[in-house]
Structure 1
Amino acid sequence: MTSMDWSDGENDAIVADYFAMLADDEAGRPYNKAEHNRGLQQRIGRQRSSIEFKHQNISAVLKGLGESWIAGYKPAFNFQGSLTDAVVRWLATHPAWLSPTTRLPPGIVSVVREAPTLWIGPPPTHSNMPPPEELDQMQAIAREFDVAERDARNRALGRAGEERVVAHERATLASAGRDDLADRVRWVSDQDGDGAGYDIASFEPDGRARLIEVKTTNGWERTPFHISQRELDVADSLSDAWCLVRLWSFAREPRAFELRPPLQAHVSLMATSYQAQFH
């Protein structure tokens, strides 16, 4: 280890400090970054600039892990693998962080009642792709720690995302003067269970069917996601009506984009499991 490398103890200390700030940041509580920096200087003996840059490295690790980060610490890449290990260690000892109701958008019930619309932007494309070295590092972290599977297992996150899209659909139809259709939007996965190949049955303002599969993450727009064979089959067979709404940055400021079939035009589909039958 060179004199510039950070030890596991130093990494653990700065990661814990970062998450303390992030919790305050997401909750809207005031905190002082300079004060946190001074405290770390005293505890681990690193210079202010070194600590500042390491905070940016932590933002980059969290981006790769599909988690939100402190906006004031712009992600900086080419970090040590030991820093990723430190972030994963912290998450392992604080499992509630990955799926706590306290990190879902505040007042989700009132959100549904007031039914505001979502920010819907363009999907990721080659034209807005980050630099190759950045993308490679983000994708490597996502693969190693199976971020897509983690989000898929997070039932609270998935349910909250679907609820948010139901509210968006009803508000959009109501603003188009189609209260009759807004009243008929159906939360299929909640009322009938999974298995339909979509989560929400909604409508276009002209009355055409709109079948929506919702995928939610707290991470950035390029965080990978899982999609089932059933969902792919329904997307192919009902391609005129089916769409995927990808919600991202959900814990902080929910944003979304839509993908229409064929999904292969937008994403690379990779088989991650197989069904085994005996001969």
Structure 2
Amino acid sequence: MASGDWTDQQNDAIVADYFAMLADDEAGRPYSKAEHNRRLQAAIGRPRGAIEYKHQNISAVLKGLGEDWIPGYKPAFNFQGSLVDAVARWLATHPAWLAPDTRLSLAKGAPSRVREAPTLWIGPPPTLGNAPPPDELEQMQHIARRFDVAERDARNRALGRAGEERIVRHERSSLTAAGRNDLADRVRWVSEQDGDGAGYDIASFEPDGRPRLIEVKTTNGWERTPFHISRNELAVADERRREWCLVRLWNFARDPRAFELRPPLDAHVSLMPTSFQASFPS
């Protein structure tokens, strides 16, 4: 059996094997992790335990990329940069994997999606949780910045639209459960009906009738995956801070969960300008 640092060929082989299992997992098809491991031992000359741990490393890389990972391989960190490069190479040669229609169709094909309830699990934002930031946060943030995960999610219109639709259903279901069918009937999907530009996606209500303006940000990644927010959205959040909220929908492809952020947003997240308008002097 080989020892020492993994070669690019070994990394490429185990990354391809991982994505084969992940595709089966997301589609609800049965597969054997043990059989995959045995085939890899023969192909790359690494022992069973090393292969298991490298699969966990790949889960960690995917977590940093804001992507779904195999639940049975808990993310393990402090991996080599060459593994990140191997995952990036696989994704570059399989662009369909990140295509919105491909991933959403996989998600909808999984059995858990059929039984999906209209109400969501909504927990506290990471800034208000009792747990301290995870030790791997810096490594995850480095990967997210390197591959601009926030920009990728922002450009994924199919993912964004599916997330907004999910929150519309949640709002209507919650109001109905509170005995406010009259308000549930008046929930509006503003970005779908009127287009972008309002500074929020959904116009809903609190059970007591107060307006509730919701901006939805969706990712397949974990709760700390970065996201983009526009100057206009920030302005509306400031102008209508009693009514406006941001709903962060995460882990969307597998088990959607959410939390809410209320203005001022800079109390919860670090806001960093990512582009500038260039104009010619008069």
Q: Distance in 2 between matches of 1:190 and 1:198?
A: 11
Q: Determine if contact 2:163/2:218 at 8 Å carries over to the other structure.
A: yes
- What is the match of residue 168 of structure 2? 166
Q: Distance in 1 between matches of 2:242 and 2:133?
A: 31
Structure 1 length as normaliser, TM-score?
Answer: 0.94
Superposed displacement of residue 131, structure 1: 3.5
Q: Determine if contact 2:100/2:156 at 8 Å carries over to the other structure.
A: no
Q: Determine if contact 1:24/1:30 at 8 Å carries over to the other structure.
A: yes
- What is the match of residue 214 of structure 1? 216
- What is the match of residue 84 of structure 2? 84
- What is the match of residue 271 of structure 1? 273
**Is 2:266 aligned against 1:256?**
no
Q: Which stretches of structure 1, 4 residues or more, deviate above 6 A after TM superposition? A: none
Q: Distance in 1 between matches of 2:143 and 2:229?
A: 19
- What is the match of residue 43 of structure 2? 43
Q: Distance in 2 between matches of 1:40 and 1:115?
A: 39
Superposed displacement of residue 3, structure 1: 4.6
Matched residue type, 1:218: N
**Distance change in 2, residues 1:135/1:115 (3 Å):** closer
Q: What are the equivalent positions in structure 2 for 1:93-104 lying under 5 Å apart?
A: 93-104=93-104
Moved more, 210-219 or 85-94: 85-94
Superposed displacement of residue 98, structure 1: 1.6
Structure 2 length as normaliser, TM-score?
Answer: 0.93
- What is the match of residue 247 of structure 1? 249
Q: Distance in 2 between matches of 1:27 and 1:185?
A: 33
- What is the match of residue 138 of structure 2? 136
Q: Distance in 2 between matches of 1:215 and 1:199?
A: 10
Q: Determine if contact 2:189/2:201 at 8 Å carries over to the other structure.
A: yes
Deviations 1:180-203 (A, max 9, x none): 111111111111111100000011
Q: Determine if contact 1:115/1:167 at 8 Å carries over to the other structure.
A: no
Q: What are the equivalent positions in structure 2 for 1:103-122 lying under 5 Å apart?
A: 103-104=103-104, 105-106=107-108, 116-122=118-124
CA RMSD in angstroms, aligned pairs only: 1.8
Moved more, 136-145 or 121-130: 121-130
Matched residue type, 1:141: I
- What is the match of residue 59 of structure 2? 59
**Identical pairs, percent:** 80
Moved more, 21-30 or 120-129: 120-129
- What is the match of residue 73 of structure 2? 73
- What is the match of residue 188 of structure 1? 190
Superposed displacement of residue 115, structure 1: 6.5
Q: Determine if contact 2:3/2:46 at 8 Å carries over to the other structure.
A: no
Superposed displacement of residue 130, structure 1: 3.6
**Is 2:30 aligned against 1:30?**
yes
- What is the match of residue 20 of structure 2? 20
Q: Distance in 2 between matches of 1:93 and 1:198?
A: 36
Deviations 1:98-146 (A, max 9, x none): 23334324279xx89x9610110111027423433x1110010011111
The size of the alignment, in residue pairs, is 274
